Amino acid sequence: MSIDLATCSITELQAAFAQGTCTALAACRACLERIAALDAAGPTLRAVIEINPDAEAIAAALDRERQESGPRGPLHGVPVLVKDSLDTADRMMTTAGSLALVGNIAPRDAAVVARLRQAGAVLLGKTNMSEWGYMRSTRACSGWSSRGGQVRNPYVLDRSPLGSSSGSAVAVAAGLCTAAIGAEVDGSIVRPASSNAVVGLKPTVGLISRAGGIGVAEPQDTAGPMARSVADVALLLNALASRDPNDPATDAADEHRPPDYGAFLDPAALQGARLGVARECFGQHEGTDAVIEQAIAQLRDLGAEIIDPVRASALPFFGELELELFLYGLKDSLNRYLHSHPLAPVRSLEELIRFNRDHAAEVMPFFQQEFLEQAQTKGDPGDTACRQVMAELRRLSRTDGIDRALREHRLDALIAPTEGSPPFVIDPLVGDHILPGGCSTPPAVAGYPHISVPAGFVHGLPVGLSFFAGSWQEGKLLGYAFAFEQATRHRQPPRFLPTLGADRPQRGSL
């Protein structure tokens, strides 16, 4: 095989397929071998929670189909992983990382999984994640689940992978797959993308169907693509974006979806673009700030007009209002999901809480389930109190936030560091050390698109640059991210260092 599957793009892989130097089956086997060597053994990344036992058979069938009738499109034969919160109607389970759902075989594919299969992707397996989308405990550890253990950052192994789609980001960064699907309610796509030097796109809520996914809060939930390049994210988005009658939020998707997101990928896309610097997202770490200041200078060199400073939102990450919405939404989402899955071992949030108490030694060795218990006390999302919370969040994020910034400064998009600091040390006893900087919350609460692209490193730890704007602006954001990516080429593959500074000579060494 003449192609490096750990670093290649979808386009490069398709060229190898067309030239006959690689097959879908060979690519599938190479990824499975790499998962065995790096994920289950070696650095032990724990990014993959389950292997699809049918992956090789699917790849072989797609090779035969290519020979007989040609490829279905650019994803034909491409090895992809999906987050463990997305249903697959096969021999794999859907557990959201929880031991409570071991044995849960879904009756049908999630909409995004069905579209991947239709496009000819090879579903390698499922990725590990923060259990229940990080909504179990007030001091959870990003990337830890009772079923899959702790996902580790491939750049420095004792550092956090961040976000609940941590397994998807790590798998892409480490070359365990060509691309992956994550899901986000606030930061769960873009934050792990930033912290693992990959590209992650959280689309407008309603562009991609949520049907068949385990969510947290419907107004903010969405799946989204993750890959090593902006071009690959655009190809994935072409396959995923579509109206779905099973998700009313997508009713306008086809109206706003362009024929090809790849048409926006112009190296000159930044020329004349007015970009506002969301300064409230800075100031938490001098290293991150320095990387983003350099990125701003590079954007200016590429022809962008920089408006600085701009205030995008006053919303804090995981603030009280957003948490209140999540607690209402979590109860509703979990109860609806569990009631509709006959093979789920627990059938309600109440039963889940009881299971965790009965199996505390395995399920809760470090932190508890405060969020689940708080959610159980909440009423229906249609309650007046919840509707008032949603209205206030939309006012703060849209009317008096992103919408106002874009209008008053005549902006095309806003920019900021995706995460306030480089990845912190994993600490299962104390939990995550999340600093208040970064910009995931405003576009997440607004339901607006947000893309993170690699911007550089701080002592070998990745830092991401974010672009976000109003609804349905994915094409424009992809163009800006592509132009920045192509001009800077900041992404470097991981080296699996055991700890920070492990690559440097120690004092007194030769």
- The three-class DSSP label of residue 479 is helix
Q: Which of 130, 188, 209, 440 is catalytic?
A: 188
Q: Are 433 and 427 in contact (CB under 8 A)?
A: yes
Element (H, E) at 201: strand 199-202
Q: Is 489 exposed, middle or buried (0-12, 13-18, 19+ CB in 10 A)?
A: exposed
Cα 133 from Cα 166, distance rounded (Å): 10
Tokens describing residue 262: 């790849």
Q: Which of 164, 165, 166, 421 is catalytic?
A: 164
Q: Which residues pair with 144 in a beta bridge?
A: 150
Element (H, E) at 1: none
Q: What is the largest CA-CA distance in the chain?
A: 69
188 catalytic, yes or no? yes
Cα 133 from Cα 214, distance rounded (Å): 9
83 catalytic, yes or no? yes
476 catalytic, yes or no? no
Q: Are 196 and 211 in contact (CB under 8 A)?
A: no
Tokens describing residue 211: 């049907």
Cα 502 from Cα 107, distance rounded (Å): 47
Cα 507 from Cα 322, distance rounded (Å): 47
Q: Which of 83, 202, 331, 476 is catalytic?
A: 83
Q: Provide the annotated active-site residues.
A: 83, 164, 188
